[in-house]
Amino acid sequence: MLVMFSVFAVLFLKDGMWGYRDKNLQFYIHASFVQAGTQFKEMENDGGLSESVWKSYASSQKCTFPDEDENTLPRDTDLEMAWPDILVNGYAVMSEKGAQNGAVKLWEDYSASKKWSSDPGDHPMSAGKIREQFYAAAIAGLLIVVCLFFLVRTMRRSIHADGEALYTQTGQRIPYADMVRIDKRKWDTKGLAIIDYKDGDETKKARIDGMVYGQFKEEDGAPAEKLLAHVMERFKGEVVEYVTDEEDQAEDEPEEKQGAGQPDH
């Protein structure tokens, strides 16, 4: 969870500081290519369009950016940015492929040279949407702090046992003689065992969480399994656990065989 929230925080910050702003820049520059295709067709229809006329027109055009540019575009964006040179010099491509198709081809070449996606998206990211990334990053940061707190607390704790008692992660010493019941029903599935024990006149519960304390990795010697086995060897009370169908059948077989060997009267 700590790694997951850390990745989320980095991604949210990246989108808020650079990612969404860069996407907006791509969106508005792409709009210039769309505008160029439309204008090229109109000038063709009016007649008299030549390469020199197109270059003269295109070189005088500027990309159009929103009024709230300081909140939605990269901070080093030139707000007086002229149309890219590939558009100014794109007369031959748009004449050969058609105005709009030629503009699409020019955009594909331009975006590839910038290592951008050829798909600029359907709409730009608003300033509010960009702010949301910082809010999300702050929430992820808070969750990172919470995860670190529990991680450090857990790393400093341990469960261990000796010949006389079990010592829980909270520092509680539970002598085997005070244990009255061990519930193992969740041990095989979740690594949990619940111990009921006497503390004076009061019955309390303690939990052995093998997934958190010890783990079950065979390469590490399955510490949690060894811990519970150590406790069970010294425990004299009631054990609650699930009984499998095979065990039930094995218990019934001797009686069935004994009955089968007796003659009927």
pLDDT band at 245 (very low <50, low <70, confident <90, very high): low
258: pLDDT strictly greater than 90: no
pLDDT at 196: 94
- In degrees and rounded to multiples of 5, residue 179 shows phi and psi of -80, 130
Residue 214 to residue 73: CA distance in whole angstroms? 51
Instruction: Identify whether the C-beta of residue 189 lies closer than 8 Å to the C-beta of residue 180.
Output: no
User: Which domains occur in the chain, in start order?
Assistant: 2-128 (no CATH), 160-251 (2.30.29)
Q: What confidence tens digit (pLDDT) does each residue in 135-182 have? A: 999 999 999 999 999 888 877 788 889 999 999 888 889 999 999 999
Percentages helix, strand, coil for the chain (3-state, rounded to 5) are 55, 15, 30
> Under DSSP, is residue 216 helix (H, G, I), strand (E, B) or coil?
coil
Residue of 204, 182, 184, 200 whose CA lies nearest to 192: 184
DSSP-assigned letter for residue 84: P
pLDDT at 242: 75
- Mean pLDDT value of segment 69-79: 82
Residue 222 to residue 219: CA distance in whole angstroms? 7
pLDDT band at 264 (very low <50, low <70, confident <90, very high): very low
Give the CA dihedral 71, 74, 80, 86, nearest 10 degrees.
Answer: -140
